Amino acid sequence: MFTPLTDDEDRCLSIYVLGSKAVAHQKAENYPGGFAKCCQFSLFTGGRGSFTDHNKKKWRIHPGDVFYFTEGTPVEYYPFTDRWETMYVMCAGSGLGTLMDYLGFSQSGVITTTNTGVFDEVRILFEEIVELNKLRGRLVNSELSYLLYELLMVLGECNGAMPNEDPAIKRLEPLVKMINERYHEDIPLEEMADLVGCTPSYLGKLFREVYHTSPVTYLIRVRVEQARRLLCSDLSLTTQQVGERCGFNDKSYFGKIFKRYTGITPAEYRAANTYIENNRGNKDAVTDQ
């Protein structure tokens, strides 16, 4: 399914899903010039086939294998069996190239998920993206972006090429870990800088070089993401309580920041993502005061 994003959405999402689909039988394809302005990841769940990468190396593709190719990369693939079942995700975004480099992906290649025991996790992420992509809309695009990021991180681990070689990334790892664990706390910039072993001004420069944002903005994004999950997973909490648990001690500030990143208020987000339960007469949900 292909649904173009608006210009505003393109600017908001550093990586996004351009299209996705489950295919009962993948037919032969040949793209001498590759795809323009997007990358593709294909997970195969049945049958066998062949994939020719940018170096003209032929790969035999079995269930559990993922092949990928980047923008403008010449590729060819075709089935060996009557049915060659696949799910594919086409993605783009201003931050995609950096993330691909970060994960150690070349122009094209093959990743085997069965050897590392994460096939089910990868399959579920592909399925969620394909199904969610049928809905679209600003709220859905944001969730798709998050699922795509999760998928790429898991595939990066399978690829055995997580970017520990970059000294800047390695240096920032303890800080990113601390933010992801202590997002609900007030973490002063000075404490972040001390952890990395540099001045606050140099930390900002270093963090922007790697993550294209400031450490404070990264912290806010983590808080918003946690709030999105908590809004839908625990209906016993009011939106104000969700905000407090995620580090937003002021209700109005929480609402303002949440809307800035998602396009809607926390209450609207909860309503949009729990409509099934509400339509079934779920009386356990708390009405925000």
Q: What is the CATH number of the domain that holds 129?
A: 2.60.120.280
Q: Is the pLDDT of residue 158 over 90?
A: no
Are 113 and 184 in a shared domain?
Answer: no
Are 16 and 153 in a shared domain?
Answer: yes
pLDDT, tens digit, for every residue of 227-277?
A: 988 898 888 999 999 999 999 999 999 999 999 888 889 998 888 776 434
d(CA 270, CA 225): 13
Q: Which domain does 86 fall in, by range?
A: 7-158
For residues 208 and 214, the answer to whether their CB atoms sit within 8 Å is: yes
Residue 174 located in a structural domain: yes
Cβ neighbors of 94 (< 8 A, separation 6 or more) are: 10, 14
Q: Is the pLDDT of residue 198 over 50?
A: yes
Give the number of domains in the chain. Answer: 2
Which residues is 39 bridged to in the sheet? 91
Mean pLDDT estimate for the chain:
83
Are 171 and 124 in a shared domain?
Answer: no
Residue 36 pLDDT? 77
Are 21 and 150 in a shared domain?
Answer: yes
Domain boundary among 114, 132, 158: 158
In this structure, which amino acid lies at residue 138?
R
List the alpha helices (DSSP H) in the chain.
7-12, 96-102, 119-132, 138-158, 167-181, 189-196, 200-211, 215-233, 239-245, 251-262, 266-273, 275-279
Are 28 and 53 in a shared domain?
Answer: yes
d(CA 197, CA 203): 9
Residue 184 DSSP class: T
Please, which pLDDT band fits residue 103 given cuts at 50, 70 and 90? confident
CATH of the domain at 271: 1.10.10.60
Domain boundary among 158, 191, 212: 158
Q: Is the pLDDT of residue 163 over 60?
A: no
Average pLDDT on 165-191 reads 86
User: Among positive and negative, which fits the CA dihedral 3, 7, 8, 12?
Assistant: positive
Are 185 and 153 in a shared domain?
Answer: no
d(CA 38, CA 31): 13
Are 20 and 146 in a shared domain?
Answer: yes
Residue 160 pLDDT? 57
Residue 121 located in a structural domain: yes
Domain boundary among 158, 189, 211: 158
Residue 95 located in a structural domain: yes
Are 200 and 105 in a shared domain?
Answer: no
For residues 4 and 137, the answer to whether their CB atoms sit within 8 Å is: no
Which residues is 90 bridged to in the sheet? 19, 40
Residue 31 located in a structural domain: yes
Are 244 and 220 in a shared domain?
Answer: yes
Tokens of 208: 């922007």
pLDDT, tens digit, for every residue of 108-131?
A: 999 999 876 789 999 999 999 999
Question: Of 74, 69, 63, 71, which Cα lies nearest the Cα of 26?
Answer: 63
Q: Where are the beta strands (DSSP E) in 34-140?
A: 39-46, 49-52, 58-61, 65-69, 75-79, 85-92, 108-112
Residue 1 located in a structural domain: no
Please, which pLDDT band fits residue 208 given cuts at 50, 70 and 90? confident
Tokens of 12: 């908001």
Are 134 and 13 in a shared domain?
Answer: yes
Are 149 and 168 in a shared domain?
Answer: no
Are 52 and 18 in a shared domain?
Answer: yes
d(CA 171, CA 122): 29
Residue 257 located in a structural domain: yes
Phi, psi for 201 (deg, rounded to 5): -65, -40
Residue with tokens 């809607």: 264
Residue 98 located in a structural domain: yes
